[in-house]
């Protein structure tokens, strides 16, 4: 092999695409060549959009979702029910539930799930911050909407135990979502049903 396949700039571009989730070497190569086929302005707009998003987005100091305003749109919305908090793993889960439109409470983003296998401990998540919010006393129900996989269930049980002394209602979303999948891929109707069918934990 010779020529452009060894061009360091192309190798570099492929390597960068290869770092993205779900992108193998072949797709990375296809994307790198696709970028080259675009008009220069489009390439610049693409790169700028990434840098701008990274520079602008920050974590909401209340719910820890990614946001461009602080507090985030949900936390600052006076019309939301402030007695209900839905606990999710990632900001993308907030987007999924918001798309389902039925939910009018607040959120708390853990920024992950407990996974001893991958070295993620409770103290690596925004659990302290959740407990502090609940301790304030306004919250009456905590809906645990972590993913229906091993890590998500472990996290749900752990939270239910921690929340028990606070005397709040702790519910878990129903299993409309296939086990082992995640919230991000569930359609809006399934998510709405899962929330609607939530059950109280720890009985």
Q: Does 159 bind Zn ion (CB under 5 A)?
A: no
* Stretch of residues binding Zn ion (CB under 5 A), selected from 70-78, 119-127, 137-145, 165-173: 70-78
How far is it, in rounded angstroms, from Cα 87 to Cα 126?
A: 10
Q: Count the site residues for Zn ion by CB under 5 A.
A: 6
Q: Which is nearer to Zn ion, 60 or 173 (CB)?
A: 60
Q: Which is nearer to Zn ion, 29 or 65 (CB)?
A: 65
* Stretch of residues binding Zn ion (CB under 5 A), selected from 53-61, 87-95, 116-124, 172-180: 53-61
**Omega into 71 within 30° of 0, i.e. cis?**
yes
Per the listing, tokens 């610049």 go with 44
* Stretch of residues binding Zn ion (CB under 5 A), selected from 60-68, 109-117, 149-157, 168-176: 60-68
How far is it, in rounded angstroms, from Cα 29 to Cα 11?
A: 9
Q: Which is nearer to Zn ion, 72 or 192 (CB)?
A: 72
CB within 8 A of 114, min separation 6: which ones?
120, 121, 122, 125, 151, 154, 155, 158
State the DSSP H helix or E strand holding residue 58, giving kind and residue range, or none if neither: strand 58-59
- Dihedral through CA 158, CA 82, CA 195, CA 198, nearest 10? 50
Q: Does 130 bind Zn ion (CB under 5 A)?
A: no
Residues 8-47 that bind Zn ion (CB under 5 A): none
3-state secondary structure of 192: helix
Q: Does 75 bind Zn ion (CB under 5 A)?
A: yes
Phi first, then psi: what are they for 120, rounded to 5°? -100, 110
Binder among 14, 32, 60, 86 for Zn ion (CB under 5 A): 60
- Min dist CB 69 to Zn ion, Å, is 9
Q: Does 62 bind Zn ion (CB under 5 A)?
A: yes
CA nearest to 194, candidates 169, 177, 171: 177
Binder among 13, 14, 28, 63 for Zn ion (CB under 5 A): 63
Q: Which is nearer to Zn ion, 94 or 201 (CB)?
A: 94
Q: Does 86 bind Zn ion (CB under 5 A)?
A: no
Q: Give the other-Cβ count within 10 Å of 104's Cβ.
A: 11
How far is it, in rounded angstroms, from Cα 34 to Cα 23?
A: 14
Q: Does 72 bind Zn ion (CB under 5 A)?
A: yes
Residues near Zn ion (CB under 5 A): 60, 62-63, 71-72, 75
């Amino acid at each position: 092999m010779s020529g452009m396949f060894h061009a360091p700039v192309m190798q570099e571009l492929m390597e960068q695409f290869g770092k993205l989730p779900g992108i193998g070497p072949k797709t990375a190569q296809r994307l790198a060549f696709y970028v080259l086929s675009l008009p220069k302005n489009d390439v610049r707009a693409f790169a700028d959009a990434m840098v701008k998003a990274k520079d602008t987005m920050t974590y909401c100091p209340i719910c820890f979702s990614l946001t461009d305003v602080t507090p985030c749109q949900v936390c600052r919305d006076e019309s939301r029910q402030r007695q209900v908090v839905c606990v999710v793993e990632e900001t993308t889960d907030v987007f999924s539930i918001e798309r389902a439109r039925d939910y009018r409470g607040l959120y708390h983003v853990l920024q992950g799930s407990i996974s001893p296998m991958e070295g993620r401990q409770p103290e690596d998540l925004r659990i302290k911050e959740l407990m502090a919010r609940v301790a304030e006393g306004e919250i009456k129900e905590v809906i645990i909407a972590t993913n229906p996989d091993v890590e998500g269930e472990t996290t749900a049980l752990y939270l239910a135990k921690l929340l028990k002394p606070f005397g709040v209602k702790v519910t878990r979303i129903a299993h409309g979502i296939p086990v082992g999948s995640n919230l991000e891929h569930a359609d809006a109707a399934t998510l709405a049903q899962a929330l609607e069918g939530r059950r109280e934990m720890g009985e």
